[in-house]
């Protein structure tokens, strides 16, 4: 599902922003968005002013945007990736992501010349907010996100589709932590893992 309507959407395709406006009967503005094939936390505000304030808060070092990804291979325990990534127009922008290993997995699934397949579940913290940043950084590290059809590894994607029957991308916006700009309350917003993650676990 798209967060908001764009030129790539079919006219009758469901859009999260429109559905929520209909459910709440209020005007809403997107604050934290995710890519269409991703899952996880979305954040909306009720006014343009609040949207601006929240965006400033989320851009500060006091906030934390945490994602979880399933990737090819065994990653080291921590990696701070500071590399240029392309924006949606193809221009290079410096971006920073902090990766931490959560779990290494080896499955009895033959891939190429190997009898088993190795994967890692990693936590990614966005320190900047660029287009497809986590996806591009993991591709640069050659730890491709499973079922990422733009930046991923076709062989691994086919393996998951053919042997596990899973076609959805394994990138999940797990948690947002920040201080509310009006109440000063500390907020921690989490999203449960969707069905394809639960199926893999």
Enumerate residue ranges in the chain where pLDDT < 50: none
In a domain, 101, yes or no: yes
* Domain enclosing residue 129, as ranges: 62-196
Catalytic pick among 35, 84, 148, 153: 35
- pLDDT tens, residue by residue, 51-102: 999 999 999 888 999 999 999 999 988 888 888 888 888 889 899 999 999 9
In a domain, 81, yes or no: yes
Examine the residue annotation and report whether 35 is marked as an active-site residue of this protein: yes
pTM of the model: 0.91
In this structure, what CATH number is given to the domain that contains residue 99? Answer: 3.30.2350.10
DSSP 144: P
CA distances from 140 to 24, 60, 69 (A): 41, 26, 15
In a domain, 42, yes or no: no
Please answer whether residues 45 and 33 qualify as being in contact, where contact means their C-beta atoms are separated by less than 8 angstroms. no
B/e letters for 151-181, b = 16+ CB within 10 Å, e = fewer, are bbbeebbebbeeeeebebbbbbbbbbebeeb
In a domain, 38, yes or no: no
In the chain, the number of structural domains is 1
In a domain, 48, yes or no: no
Please answer whether residues 32 and 42 qualify as being in contact, where contact means their C-beta atoms are separated by less than 8 angstroms. yes
In a domain, 131, yes or no: yes
């Amino acid at each position: 599902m798209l967060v908001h309507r764009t030129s790539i959407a079919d006219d009758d395709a469901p859009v999260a922003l429109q559905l929520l406006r209909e459910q709440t009967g209020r005007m809403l503005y997107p604050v934290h968005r995710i890519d269409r094939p991703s899952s996880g936390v979305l954040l909306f505000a009720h006014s343009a002013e609040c949207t601006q304030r929240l965006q400033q808060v989320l851009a500060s070092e006091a906030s934390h945007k945490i994602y979880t990804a399933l990737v090819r291979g065994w990653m080291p325990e921590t990696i701070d990736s500071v590399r240029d990534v392309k924006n949606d127009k193809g221009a290079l922008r410096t971006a920073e992501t902090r990766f931490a290993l959560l779990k290494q997995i080896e499955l009895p699934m033959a891939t190429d010349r190997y009898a088993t397949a190795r994967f890692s579940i990693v936590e990614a913290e966005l320190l900047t907010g660029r287009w497809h940043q986590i996806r591009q950084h993991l591709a640069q590290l050659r730890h491709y996100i499973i079922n990422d059809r733009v930046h991923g590894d076709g062989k691994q994607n086919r393996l998951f589709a053919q042997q596990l029957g899973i076609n959805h991308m394994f990138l999940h916006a797990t948690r947002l932590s920040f201080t509310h700009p009006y109440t000063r309350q500390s907020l921690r917003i989490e999203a449960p893992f969707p069905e394809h993650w639960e199926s893999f676990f």
